[in-house]
A and B are shown apart, each in its own frame.
Chain A
Amino acid sequence: MSMDRSVLFNIGLLLALLLVVLALPEYHQGNFARIMVLACFACAYNISFGYTGLLSLGHAMFFSAGLYGVGLTVQLLEFPSEIGFLFGIVCGLVLAVAVGLLALRTTGVSFMIVTLMFSQAFFLTVLLFGEFTRGDEGFVISQDKRTFLGIDLSSDDTRLIVSWVLISLCVLGCQVVVRSRLGKVLVAIRENEERTQMLGFNVFRAKLSALAISGAMAALAGGAYSLLFGYVGATFASVQYSIFPLLWVLLGGTGTLIGPLIGTALMFYLIDISSEFTTAYMLVAGIVLVLLTLYVPEGIVGTIRRRLAPWIQ
């Protein structure tokens, strides 16, 4: 990856993000620790939706595969968290490949429905094995098990830095993917799948690769969330957690590297601030999203890219 201005821009932005969050009051630091982990999930979704055009409604299962892959191994089987974390990512990867092999036989609305059904099946499976997963209630990962390479993940300062490292890895990792040959094929599929196929590219394999990368990255976010915040529960496998990354990406800008982070942060604060004034805070979020879709359809970063900086990836 040559160090052109797009790369430098993202590195600079991530460093600026670190400086800003370190200067923020404690409360907002805690918020940004969550935002950055959830933004990893949004980045994962962006690979499949933003760059490949695969509108999945089942990404909660990949996030939860990481969440439970880590939670069950670390808390119940007492694996070291490092091993559990890797296991969680592998769970997401394997699940994404398995789902992809079947779901990618469909396109468009059918793909949405099939991924939604798989995700619901995953959710019900979590409930079914309640003896281990504690079903809807979930379980806590005890504080003594939340260490990684000797670092205490329950400490506020550590959590902030680890979250920043993760989002940096995800953003820059996405940039590597997008600039690779695979990434160019993915964008070509998004723009015109038939033409890409006609040019001789293996479209199915490329889409499966995108879903696999997306699933593994979503699982990374889920696994990190469980270790950093100490809770594993079926809510994260429910349909709303498939909708959230879609909204975050739409708000920030589909097919932009930094958009998912911006979208996640804005949505988080939209809910956080509006919930102080009304219980209808999701309505407020909904109205804002409708207005954005009408007037800023490319999302915030997408609009900035179009109007000001076409070189932003």
Chain B
Amino acid sequence: MSKNKHVEALNTSRRTFLKTAGVTTAAAMTGASLGQYVQAQSAEPIRIGFQQHSSGIGAAYGRWYGRTTEAAVAAINNMGGINGRMVELVAEDDGTDPKRGAEVVEKFAKQRNCDVAFGTLFSHVVIGSAPRAGELKLPYFVVSEGHHVASGMLNRYTLQPGITDVKSQVQAMAPFVAGNLGKKVTMIYPDFAFGHDHRDYFSAAIEAQGGQVLEKIAIPPAETSFTRYFPKIPRDTEVVYHVMVGPAVLTFVKEMGEFFGGRGPQLFGFIDSLEAVDMQSPGLEFLEGSYFWEGNPRNAQSDQTEFDKAFRTAVGVDENGASISDSRDVSTYSHMFGCWETLFVIKQGMEACDYKGPQDRAKLVEAVEAMRNFDESAQFPQGSKLFNGKTHQVFGHQYISRVESGKLNRVHTTSIEDGLYEDEVDYTTQSL
């Protein structure tokens, strides 16, 4: 009897607990959400959801993307905002993880009342998040430089108007490499998608210039020592094209320098390897005299434009590409301008379509698709650009710099045409 009573008491208690917990949870969630669910009124700020890589493998980029984005938002607000409304940044860390990235995009659209999502760099996060942005019909402005947008893999709501893609960058390098450094190339690249893009696009581009890739050396992702790969470089190689990334890059450069001992072929690399890395770091002296692609010259050049000067001031970067408050804190200068320029594209697009709120998101996409030329200016300090509304991809100038006394001195600027290629998709045919 007492046992029955005890069980009954427990059952009552359990029922009460479940009921209370259920009601409390539902009320808490509903209440919390409803509070944030009120639709933005016209007097409210325009909310830009910033999908930031604050942790994970992209954290170094994320830090500088954050600083640049905050500076651009401040600049836009100082100009009176967009359509008379202030811009509010809603930043959230995605952990540089595609699963979390998609969740963050959903949060921007459904809970944080963001008008657009913006700022993603790492390709796997973009590709993981873009399907959800498309389903939510949330304009998703990425700053990734991946070819995934222009390849047609994504959707009409995903755009890349502020930074060129890797296919364009690599293609634009080939004429300079073939014409100035040599036509017999050996490629060393990481054995994953980023490296494969370089392998495929550069091989085709250098062959179009009459050159050839003698050897393609893929380095497994977990590799920590590279000495066993260097003997695979053919003796008649004139140029070593390297695009190693990740924590082992300093070891790679040091071991390659020791292998060649200053008497090897010309070295050509992508600065992606050394973004946020001080060129004066021990081991990098082996790079003296070698060449790099730069999206935007890290070191202020002798013919520095007033726009670059103003941009550096705004984002807090000195003439060496480091933070003005800490010279050891080197920026990701070849990529971060993309955040600045993308935000001004969003501003132009919203003004062109008289954007009022989320109901105008489709009009915003169409307004950006209608854009064509961006002139070099304070809004576009990296240089003039050509936007392709069909492929949602922008094209622009690329820079080639030579390492001289530990500084990157620009020796060549490509034309926009050097980086153009045939359209692979027409997103405007997809429904909005």
Contacts and interface: CB of A to CB of B under 8 A. Distances in A.
Contact of B131 (A127, A229, A234, A235): A229
Contacts of B44: none
A interface: dominant SS:
helix
B191 to A, nearest CB: 7
B26 A308 contact: no
A124 B54 CA distance: 26
A16 B18 CA distance: 10
Contacts of A233: 98, 124, 127-128
A150 interface: no
B220 to A, nearest CB: 7
A138 B22 contact: no
Contacts of B131: 140-141, 143, 154, 229-231
B113 to A, nearest CB: 10
Given A20-B26, A25-B30, A272-B103, A131 B196 contact: yes
B22 A20 contact: yes
Contacts of B127: 134, 137-140, 231, 233
A286 to B, nearest CB: 13
A280 to B, nearest CB: 8
Contacts of A2: none
A25 B33 contact: yes
A124 B22 contact: no
Interface residues of B, number: 50
Contacts of B106: 27, 30-31
Interface stretch (B146-154, B228-236, B388-396): B146-154
A276 B111 CA distance: 12
A137 B148 contact: yes
A23 interface: yes
Chain A CB count within 10 A is highest, among B29, B97, B107, for B29
Contacts of A280: 55
A139 to B, nearest CB: 7
Interface in A76-128: 124, 127-128
Interface string B179-211: 000000000000111101000000000000000
A151 interface: no
Interface of A: 16, 20, 23-28, 30-31, 34, 124, 127-128, 130-131, 134-141, 143, 154, 156, 229-231, 233-236, 271-272, 275-276, 279-282, 308-309
Interface of B: 10, 13-14, 17-18, 22, 25-26, 29-30, 33-34, 37, 54-55, 92-93, 95, 97-100, 102-103, 106-107, 110-111, 123-124, 127-128, 130-132, 134-135, 146, 148, 153-155, 191-194, 196, 220-222
A-B interface, 3 closest residue pairs, ranked by CB to CB distance from nearest: A230-B131, A27-B110, A137-B193
21 contacts: A16-B22, A24-B29, A27-B106, A28-B29, A31-B103, A31-B106, A34-B103, A135-B192, A135-B196, A136-B124, A137-B123, A137-B192, A140-B131, A143-B131, A156-B135, A236-B99, A271-B100, A276-B92, A279-B55, A282-B55, A309-B14
